[in-house]
Structures are given as structure tokens and as C-alpha cells.
Amino acid sequence: METIEIVIGIVVLIALAGVGALAGLVRPRRRRGSLPRPGEAAGRSSVGPRSDELPLPGVGDDAEEPRDSPLRTVDDVELPDELPATERPAPVAGRLVRLRERLARSNSALGHGLLALLSRDTLDESTWEEVEETLLLADVGVDPTTEIVDALRERVRVLGTREPEQLRAMLREELLRAVGTDVDRSLATTRHEGEDGRPGRPAVVMVVGVNGTGKTTTVGKLARVLVAEDKDVVLGAADTFRAAAAEQLATWGERVGVPTVRSERDGADPASVAYDAVKQGIEDEVDVVLVDTAGRLQNKVGLMDELGKVKRVVERHGPVDEVLLVLDATTGQNGLRQAAVFSEVVDITGIVLTKLDGTAKGGIVVGVQRSLHVPVKLVGLGEGPDDLAPFEPEAFVDALLS
């Protein structure tokens, strides 16, 4: 009996020793970057001597091996000035209204110019010619200009009065008619639901345009628009010819916590980068994959080969949902010629007009839609990260006439 009691005692002692050793080994994991609380050395229980009896807490106290340099205190540890944190982009609704003063140059040339002309005492032939000239100079385009002038002449004649408020309302209606209010300007950025048990897939948006128009910046800003709408996004840096483009895009993505698929080397095959980006988007089950593309326009054949190939290769995963053409509003007729080349190469589904903040040619909104038969869906109104707005005809025309 005695022997059994001794054996049990030994077993209990061994078990208790084991638990103690484990308690020493298994310490709670500290989240990255969290500092020990005052009075608590890293990894140790704060239960023990009173806090006023404790030495200053040491950073790195939990290191097992003896240190030959003195431990630093919390006061000695330098924290970085700015902790990297993802930004919350500005809300998307009403952006054009908030940014309307950015259209100031367009305002005075187009809206104010027309209002001043229509308010003259006499509306003779030469005044109507000036109205026409104002519209043409603002890049409204020949056909829309003729239509607007004809409509205004007729309405002024029928109206018989030239009350400023009535003139303004009439001009607003005619400009709105020219811009178009019954067009679908929504972006196809909704994830596709899977059918017949097949998994869904992200919406794919390709962004094309000549280098320098603001294409990469637009992809970055658009990623922010989508993040603001709580969408998961993957970026594809398929502009592999401009060395800085992938870096630039990755930086835009990092700021809002969006990953960028890019090639390790410059000059890689843009189609394969685009393919990989969509592949990652499918694997990560994101809502949208945005693909930036190269915009070299030395010759049409080269461009056609390259963009055509990117689109074909991406479409092995499924159809591309949106092809956005980025156009620099300040380039006027030249921009329209570029646009025509792109629209021969790929089916453009929407236009992004950038740099509308720096031009008196706001009428290009009308001109470009008419020449390409594609709606303006977004406008760039500055270099700030959230200076990209969904295009709203009413807000735009009101800004011109404000």
C-alpha cells in the first residue's frame, strides 16, 4: 500500500512539473506592433510586485539569451512618424457637384459666353454667328452646334421674350439635350453570379488610351471609386512598356489596400500580365479586375495587334465587361482623332474625359460622344486621388451655367 502511495505521489509531482514547464513555454502571441503595457514586461504576467516597485519596462525582455547591450525602455523606442494605413476614399455620390468649381474655365467660355450673347439687346445674324463660334471653340462639334443654334433661334423667336431666367432655362434644356440624359452611363462593375453550379467571376474592365492622357492615374482613381463602393478589386499592370507605370499603379493600389498583379521585368508580354490579373481576381473571388494597358500609338497596326491580343487572351476567362477609353480633354480635335483609332481597334464601351479642370473646351463632352457614339461615363477634374467623378449631365450643365 505504502509503495502505491509513493508511486502516485511521484506521478502527481511529475505531472505538476510538466504543466508548469508548458505554462512557461506557451505564451500568448502578441499582435504585430503591439507594445507591452506599462508595468508589464513583454511576455510576463503583470501580477507580481507593485507597479511602483518595478523598474522601467524593458523592450525585448522575453529574449532568452543574455544580452550584452542594456535593454531599451519604451521611452527610447522610436515609432515611425506615419504608420501605413489604408485610406478611405471620398464617397462617390455627388462628386461632380462637389467638384463643379473645377469647371471654372469651361464655365466662362461656354456657359457664361452663351448667356452673355443671348442676353444682348438685339439678336441679329452676327450674334448667332458668335453663338455658333463659341460652341465650336468649346469643341462641341459641327453637327451638335448646328442643332443647338437652330433650336435656340427657333425657341427665341417663338418665345418672343428675352427674360434672363427664361433664356437660361432654354439654354439649359438645349445643352442637356446635346449632352444626352437618356443614356446608360453606369459602369459594368458587378461580379457575375455563377450559373448551373459554376462559380461566378469578377467583372473585367480594360482601360485604354494614349500615354500621357492620364490612363494609369485614372485606373488608380477608379480603384478608389470602387473601394468607396465597398467592392473588392484587383489591378493588372499590363502597361509593361512604360517602366514606371507598374510601380505607379501598385502605389495607387497600396493606398487603398488593393493588390496589383505585375510582371517582374519591364517589357513583359502585356497579355500574359492581364491574363494573370484576371486569374488572380477569379481565385480571390473579387468583384472587379481593372486592367491598365499600354498606349503606344506609333502605328495603328502595332496598337491593334497589342490591344487586340490583350483582349483576346483575357477573354479566355470570359468576356471583357467594359473597355474604357481615356481621353485628355485639353487635346481637342487631336484627342478625337486618337479616339477614332482606338475605337477601330477595340469596342469602346465608355469614355473617361480627363483634365476637364484645365480646359475651356468643356463642349468636348458633346463632341466626343457624337463622334464615337459612346457615352462619357467618368470625368477627371484634378490631380487629387478622388478627383474622378461619375459623369452626370444635369450637374455638368448646371456647373457650366452657374
* Amino acid identity at 195: E
383 scored as a contact of ligand GDP (CB under 6 A): yes
Interface segment toward ligand GDP; rule CB under 6 A; list 166-174, 192-200, 209-217, 230-238: 209-217
Q: Which one, of 338, 341, 371, 370, lies nearest residue 354 by Cα?
A: 338
CB of 308 to ligand GDP, least distance (A): 20
211 scored as a contact of ligand GDP (CB under 6 A): yes
| Cα–chain center distance at 207 | 11
Nearer to ligand GDP, 322 or 387 (CB): 387
**Rounded CA separation 343/223 (Å):** 24
The residue written with cell numbers 453637327 in the block is 143
The residues facing 208 across adjacent strands are: 325
CB of 167 to ligand GDP, least distance (A): 31
Name the strands in the sheet holding 388-390, side by side, starting at the edge strand that comes first in the sequence.
260-261, 233-238, 288-293, 203-208, 322-328, 350-354, 376-380, 388-390
The CB-nearest residue to ligand GDP is 380
215 scored as a contact of ligand GDP (CB under 6 A): yes
Own/partner pairs, 257-264, CB within 8 angstroms, 24+ separation = 257/86, 257/227, 258/223, 258/227, 258/233, 258/234, 259/234, 259/235, 259/284, 260/234, 260/235, 260/236, 261/234, 261/235, 261/236, 261/237, 262/236, 262/237, 263/237
Interface segment toward ligand GDP; rule CB under 6 A; list 1-9, 51-59, 137-145, 210-218: 210-218
**Rounded CA separation 113/109 (Å):** 5
Angle between helices 364-372 and 164-179 (to 10 degrees): 30
Task: Give 201's DSSP letter.
Answer: B
Candidates 279, 382, 385, 401: give the one binding ligand GDP (CB under 6 A).
382
Interface segment toward ligand GDP; rule CB under 6 A; list 88-96, 144-152, 180-188, 204-212: 204-212
Count of residues interacting with ligand GDP (CB under 6 A)? 18
Nearer to ligand GDP, 180 or 382 (CB): 382
Nearer to ligand GDP, 140 or 327 (CB): 327
Phi, psi of 374 (to 5 degrees): -135, 140
Site string for ligand GDP, 294-333 (x = CB under 6 A): -x--------------------------------------
355 scored as a contact of ligand GDP (CB under 6 A): yes
359 scored as a contact of ligand GDP (CB under 6 A): no
Interface segment toward ligand GDP; rule CB under 6 A; list 24-32, 45-53, 331-339, 382-390: 382-390
Angle 275-278-279 from CA coordinates, rounded to 5°: 80
214 scored as a contact of ligand GDP (CB under 6 A): yes
* Cell (9 digits) for 161: 421674350
Candidates 107, 134, 145, 216: give the one binding ligand GDP (CB under 6 A).
216
CB of 239 to ligand GDP, least distance (A): 7
Nearer to ligand GDP, 100 or 355 (CB): 355
217 scored as a contact of ligand GDP (CB under 6 A): yes
CB of 207 to ligand GDP, least distance (A): 9
End-to-end CA distance of the chain: 103
Site for ligand GDP in 222-281 (CB under 6 A): none
58 scored as a contact of ligand GDP (CB under 6 A): no
114 scored as a contact of ligand GDP (CB under 6 A): no
CB within 8 Å of 263: residues ≥ 6 apart? 237, 240, 246, 272, 273
Interface segment toward ligand GDP; rule CB under 6 A; list 30-38, 130-138, 176-184, 205-213: 205-213
Cβ proximity of 281 and 318 under 8 Å? no
Interface residue list for ligand GDP (CB under 6 A) = 209, 211-217, 295, 354-355, 357-358, 380-383, 387
